Amino acid sequence: MPILKIARMGHPVLRAPASPVEDVFAPQIRRLLADMRETLADSGGVGLAAPQVHVPLRVILFSVPPSRSEDGQGLPLRAIINPVLTPLSEDKVTGWEGCLSVPGLRGMVPRHTYIRLTGLTEHDEPVDEELRGYAARVVQHEADHLDGILYPARMEDFGAFGYNEELERYPYAVAKEAK
């Protein structure tokens, strides 16, 4: 199982809408899921969408690290095929995001705080659940990839966009006060 090359911002596969998966058990989907898992593990990211590995299909992987979850438990890595998100609240919260396709950078992105996620598991079982907090954020980020949207397009304050090293050196709250 190879580690796949990750498409970077500017590549057209990241700007195009992805197509639905018709057969979750098709050999190429099984291979894609295995390769995406390996690629994500190698990258150290928390989520990955198929277009990021140059495959224009509606497949995402996501997880929630224990350190980012309210209950300290996190969510193990899982795949969702043909995900559909529905906001369950108008409320949005702004938080930092990074993306394997936008390496070295991070930005503050507003996301819905409470969403419904439907789709299929990798075993072709229906998914229908409600997500909040960091899980809701990660899924919105990954699902956006399936519609050709990268997180900078969701940003409202470009002062809160920069290289990780600089933002660690000069925390954004300080930069904001200095304006």
Residues with catalytic roles: 142
Is residue 120 within the footprint of Ni ion (CB under 5 A)? no
Number of residues that bind Ni ion (CB under 5 A): 1
The least distance separating Ni ion from the CB of residue 149, rounded to whole angstroms, comes to 10
- Measuring CA to CA, how many Å separate 15 from each of 10, 88, 103, 146, 148? 8, 26, 17, 9, 4
The least distance separating Ni ion from the CB of residue 30, rounded to whole angstroms, comes to 23
The least distance separating Ni ion from the CB of residue 167, rounded to whole angstroms, comes to 17
Q: Which is nearer to Ni ion, 18 or 71 (CB)?
A: 18
Interface region with Ni ion, contact rule CB under 5 A, candidates 1-9, 83-91, 99-107, 116-124: 99-107
Q: Which is nearer to Ni ion, 75 or 99 (CB)?
A: 99
Q: Which is nearer to Ni ion, 133 or 152 (CB)?
A: 152
Is residue 99 within the footprint of Ni ion (CB under 5 A)? yes
Residues near Ni ion (CB under 5 A) = 99
